[in-house]
Amino acid sequence: MKQVFKIDLFSDTNTNPSQEMRAFMCQAKVGNEVAGEDPTVNHLLERVCDLLGKESATFLPSGTMCNGISYRVLCKRPGDMIILDKSAHPLHKSSGMIAGLAQAVSYPIDGERGIFTASQIEPILVQDKGYNVSVPRVVSIEQTTNFGGGAIWPFETMKDVCELAHKHHAYTHLDGARLLSAVVETGISAKIYSHLFDAVWIDFSKSLGAPMGAVLAGSKDFIEEAWYYKFQQGGGMHQAGILAAGCLYALDHNVQKLKEIHGLAKQLGELLKPFSFFKVKPIESNIICMEVNHPVLDAFDFERLLKEKGIRVFALDKNTIRIIVHLDIKESDIQEVVAAIKIIQKSQ
């Protein structure tokens, strides 16, 4: 049996739907989603189209499926190129989806905390076109960056990248798994961010606390084509309104809690800074990344020792720990994590 953790900081995907959300989900009116007959799904899609300023949208079970379907639609030929940061989620945690589903090649950029610049991608976009080169078809951005440590793309950098992509006839795709975290931090609306992108999706199962569900949005034609691959990948659903209700509940009740969650992450970061063997990277949202430089213990050791105390963090590699704060984490949990690290420190 897998261990259940008292304090789970592995990922914000590990949030549990609250009793209130569950009760709301129970009341949902439902219909056949694939036939466009589920009123709750349809309501969610209207809300998201309005939020993102897009013409059309479709409800999908996961963020991974949003990335996969969007890439598949935007790439026109096998071998097309997707430009994205070297730390991007679909490169590392989607079972080779870029090659396997989109039939594309990836061009990872050596960005800083998941963020790259227009000048970094310009040489790729302007390369000689010919029958023997892969066409740079999609530029994909993650806001906020996951393995980049929760960094928020500065709007101007994002705008420059997207404008350059469009100038060179590449499409732009926004992996908005945590877009609303950026929105609450910067005050820049989701619509203003989304305006730069041909395809955009948001996720309800991260810090927003829904059990599952994401919405992919774009032009009417884009979503028409997305439906083909949605069916192909088994993403067509039936009485999905129960799930969509969880997403609606999250929009109405949990977006407003994101700022508080970011505050807790920043508070934990401050408490971790005095440990000389941790180098805490800047915290901009709910994700903390820190380098481990301990004479005896590496990141995997810390992960293991904390696990023994019922606390789960994620050692990304030997030198780096990722911690994600979310809806189910309380201030007392933060104190407990710090106390556990003090005990580990003393025991060495």
List residues near ligand PLP by CB under 6 A. 13, 62-64, 67, 89, 142, 146, 175, 177, 203, 205, 214
Contact (Cβ atoms closer than 8 angstroms) between residue 9 and residue 325: yes
Of the pair 289, 344, the CB lying nearest ligand PLP is at 289
Least Cβ distance, residue 187 to ligand PLP (angstroms)? 22
What CA dihedral angle connects 312, 318, 320 and 323, to 10 degrees?
-10
254, 69 contact by CB (below 8 A)? no
**From the CB of 63, what's the least distance to ligand PLP, in Å?**
3
When the beta carbons of 33 and 85 are compared against ligand PLP, the nearer one is: 85
- Strand stretches in the chain, DSSP E: 7-8, 56-60, 81-85, 105-109, 136-142, 171-176, 199-203, 214-218, 278-280, 287-292, 311-312, 314-317, 320-324
* Beta bridge pairs of residue 207: none
How far are the Cα atoms of 51, 110, 251 from residue 329, in angstroms, in the given order?
Answer: 27, 33, 19
List % helix, strand, coil for the chain (3-state, nearest 5).
45, 20, 40
Our CB check for ligand PLP shows the closer of 10 and 275 to be 10
Residue 52 contacts residue 202 (beta carbons within 8 Å): yes
Rounded to the nearest whole angstrom, what is the least distance from the CB of residue 21 to ligand PLP in the complex? 17
CB of 178 to ligand PLP, least distance (A): 7
Amino acid, res. 287: I
Decide whether 31 or 211 has the Cβ nearer to ligand PLP.
211
| Residue with the shortest CB distance to ligand PLP | 63
Task: Verify cis geometry, omega within 30 degrees of 0, for the bond prior to 58.
Answer: no
Q: How far is the CB of 41 from ligand PLP (least distance, A)?
A: 17
Q: Which is nearer to ligand PLP, 40 or 140 (CB)?
A: 140
CB of residue 302 to ligand PLP, shortest distance in Å: 21
Whose structure tokens read 């945590």?
178
- Return the number of the residue (124 or 212) whose C-beta is nearest ligand PLP: 212
Q: How far is the CB of 247 from ligand PLP (least distance, A)?
A: 12
Neighbours of 243 (CB within 10 A): 26
CB of 92 to ligand PLP, least distance (A): 10
Rounded Cα distance, 336 and 342, in Å: 10
**CB nearer ligand PLP, residue 7 or residue 88:** 88
Nearer to ligand PLP, 105 or 212 (CB): 212
